[in-house]
Amino acid sequence: MRLSRAVLALLSLSLAFGTALLPEASATALPETSTSALPKAPASTDADVAAASTIAPPSRTVTTPDGRTRLADRQGRVLTLHGLNLGKTDTVTQDRVARLASEGFTLMRLNIQWEKVEPKRGRYDTDYLRYLDRVLDWADRYGVLVLVDWHQDVFGPAFGHNGIPAWATRTDGLPFEPNPDDWFSDYFQPAAQAAFTHLYDDPDLRAAQAAAYARVASTLRGHRSLLGYDLFNEPFGPVPGDPTDPANQLAASVALEQGRLPAMYRRLIDAVRAADRNAWLFVEPTVLVGQGVPTSLPGFRDPRPGADRIGYAPHYYDTAVESGQDWDPTGGFIEQYEAAIGAYPTAHRMPVLVGEWGPPRATTPGNAELIYRQLRSMPGFASGWAMWYDCDAPEGGGYCVRDADGRPAPGKEPVFGPYARAVAGTPERESYTPTTGEYRLTLNANRTTRRAWTEITLPATVYPHGARVTVDGIPDAVVRVRNGIARLRLPSTPSGTTVTVTVTARRHPAHADDAGRTSPEKHEQGSTH
């Protein structure tokens, strides 16, 4: 999941190595900062939540003028997904899925583990599989897309963590001495190193892993909420020689991405495709990409008929922050990450979803600024993100996105902000000012603009009394707002026209005769609820 002090020296080396290789990615608008807490969302009915959150899964990609590959729907609208991680060690309930949708999120990264799917060799846990099926039933109901994440941290339960079953853990009798103060260093223990080597190399473990993936894919295929699979969380591998030597670690990461790891991905792609031709499949680099080291992964062939559905799912963590420091805006982390992230998905025409990101606590000035900077950064290269983690904690402690009362955790309020989830045109720029609730979207019109609806998520935490929407310079713009979604269509906008949409918060509830109407007469430019 995250790095720690054990790799700080390595990352100092890798930053210098990685940032010289790729050009800097383009930037987008920076939201203004705020220290004010957002209100708790008002209660919603199931029907309200479903109507507000439903979004069709991506069925294609589009290439924007900057060369990026973006997720898109059947109409050609550019999709952006915002979501949270959940399910790692806790149970997902219907209420949690409903809350996710009511807060305006469109994505759930559902953490699952092989150890739970197949706790004994050759014996699948049917209760766990039924549980996963129920979770996707709820996601179907509330309109949240699900990225199923095959999760592991320090291999699995044999080492006190989670992921690969104990029966599939082969240590060659080597020692394992956990470090309670630096969990990531457990990866470098001889027993863990041996276990990864056997997982990648032993034919029977390869076959067993592929069979487990196929079994889950057979169970979940057909759900309209199923976006796809993140094939292996934060891949790691053996480090020849001294595993604490930064040079050895860097060389091992490159070797893994050029050899054992892509071989695993090819096996798992084939395994899922044998059961499901439609799900998107996402590959992850090693964790070093989060610190400015460009991935060495090759491209991948998708055996499905038609266009490929393979994406890239890096994580976005700053090592110093993960080790307990406040974020240093002058350290170059954002710039180095953006420089490292762009070339690989561009070269292979892959959409990007950031599978994990965010500091453990955002109450310090630097970490609060990091939230804003990452939210500014990700639209420049990704089709969306899932923040770590969906939970409530007193005073927003740990990685939880909410406080104990369910409100956005201090410093993490912008995560719950408005965003354009579907754009009929090319999205150019977004900005959001939490202190006022003002949101702006600039798009460039194309042939999709005149025939499809652009959709903007307007969370109730930001707009408890509703919102006003205006479209500059488009006299026949049609705007409709209902259940937390603004929908707008621009019937006569010529291709190439720059369009600016502005959303402002209502300070008082709308009149009763305004609420819930959808007729064009009540929703011309500037009229909304």
- Structural domains of the chain, ranges and CATH numbers in brackets: 5-522 (3.20.20.80)
pLDDT score, position 46? 59
Mean predicted confidence (pLDDT) in 116-120 = 98
State whether the Cα torsion 67-71-75-77 is positive or negative.
Answer: negative
Q: Is the pLDDT of residue 51 over 70?
A: no
Helices (DSSP H) in 150-274: which residue ranges? 190-201, 203-220, 246-258, 260-273
What pLDDT score was predicted for residue 526? Answer: 36
Q: Read off the pLDDT band of 28 (50, 70, 90).
A: very low
> What per-residue confidence (pLDDT) applies to 395?
76
Residue 518 has pLDDT above 60, yes or no: no
| Per-residue confidence (pLDDT) for residue 309, from 0 to 100 | 98
How much of the chain, in percent, has pLDDT values that exceed 70?
86
pLDDT of residue 509: 77
Confidence of residue 39 (pLDDT cuts 50, 70, 90): very low
Query: SS3 of 408, please?
Result: strand
Q: pLDDT confidence of 398, banded at 50, 70, 90?
A: confident
Given the structure tokens 């038609």, which residue do they identify?
Answer: 306
Measured distance CA(334)–CA(229) in Å, rounded: 27
Q: Is the pLDDT of residue 52 over 80?
A: no
DSSP state of 25: P
What is the reported pLDDT for 244? 83
CA atoms within 13 A on the CB side of 23: 6
Q: What does the pLDDT read at residue 510?
A: 64
Residue 462 clears pLDDT 70, i.e. is over it? yes
Q: For the chain, how far is it from start to end, CA to CA, in angstroms?
A: 41
Structure tokens at 250: 């860097």
Which of 290-294, 443-447, 508-512 is the least confident region?
508-512
Residue 21 reports pLDDT greater than 70: no
Q: Report which of residues 319 and 326 the model is more confident about.
A: 326
Q: Could you tell me which of 200, 105, 119, 120 has the C-alpha nearest to residue 162?
A: 119
- Residue 508 is predicted with a pLDDT of 81
Q: What is the pLDDT of residue 291?
A: 74
155: left (phi over 0), alpha (psi -120 to 50) or beta: left
Return the pLDDT at 427: 96
Using the predicted structure, report yes or no on whether residue 225 has a pLDDT greater than 50: yes
pLDDT tens-digit profile of 320-372?
999 899 999 999 999 999 999 999 999 999 999 999 999 999 999 999 999 99
Between these two residues, 258 and 319, which has the higher pLDDT value? 258
pLDDT per position as a tens digit, 155-211: 999 999 999 999 999 999 999 999 998 999 999 999 999 999 999 999 999 999 999
Q: Residues of 324-361 as b/e, b for ≥16 C-beta within 10 angstroms?
A: eebbeeeeebbbbbbbbbbebbbebebbbbbbbbbbbb
Please determine, for residue 29, whether its predicted confidence score (pLDDT) is greater than 60.
no
- Tens digit of pLDDT for each residue in 401-440? 999 999 999 999 999 999 999 999 999 999 999 889 999 9
What per-residue confidence (pLDDT) applies to 131?
98
- pLDDT given for residue 511 in this prediction: 53
- Kindly state the average pLDDT of the residues 212-219: 98
Length of the chain: 529
